[in-house]
Amino acid sequence: MKASKGFLLIDALLSLAVVSLICLMLLPMLQTMSQHYQASYTELQIYRQVYIEVRRGEGVYERNNEICTQYHCINKR
């Protein structure tokens, strides 16, 4: 039995609509993950910079259970 071209077109459009809806539902989750990744990456950059400055021993001091440099303070962990 042969399917009509109109039925195949409607089937293709419905499939495209379903995929589009799934993508729209996933978009907020992907944005949240992206923001979390960016925040984690920024935090890692700060830890790396503090580590470098601690190794050099330049302008490092302790304050309220934190290790501080000229630009950043991080909790001692």
What residue segments make up the domains of the chain, in order of their start?
5-75
Which H or E run contains 63? strand 61-63
CA 8/CA 15 separation, integer angstroms: 10
Give this prediction's pTM: 0.46
pLDDT tens-digit map of 43-77: 888 888 877 777 777 777 777 888 777 777 777 66
* Confidence (pLDDT) at 61: 73
Question: Please, what is the end-to-end C-alpha distance for the chain in angstroms?
Answer: 70
